Amino acid sequence: MEFVLKHTAFAHLREVGSFPCTLNPHEAESLALVGAMIDQVLELHPGAQRLHIGCDEVYYLGEGEASRRWLQQEQNSTGKLCLSHMRAVASGVKARRPSVTPLVWDDMLRDLPEDQL
């Protein structure tokens, strides 16, 4: 996401203002931006069977103000936050093109309990 979030026009969608590498998962506009990117990729690759949606090394996830408030609620964790965003993005892929299988990097999922996956 850094290639987009480094631009001033998208800086308000950063999880932490000074770091352009992590998207704020609480902003509806964040999901809309990702959806627009998915639309562009799918349009250019009409025969795609899989689409990699990233989620690699999301170092600052949970450190933004909205995420900190969310994490203060009982039962919430950074892992749940990450998984929730992954599900939203993957659902967006499936809604746009049901035949496409979303793929993600697994590093953010490795420490999650099996029952959360």
Q: List the catalytic residues.
A: 57
Residue 56 DSSP label: -
Which residues touch 101 (CB under 8 Å, ≥6 apart)? 49, 50, 51
37 close to 89: Cβ distance less than 8 angstroms = no
Each as own residue / partner, the long-range contacts of residues 42-46 (CB below 8 Å, 24 or more positions apart, any chain) are 42/96, 42/97, 42/100
Q: Where are the beta strands (DSSP E) in the chain?
A: 14-16, 19-23, 50-52, 101-103
Instruction: Report the 10 Å Cβ neighbour count for 54.
Output: 15
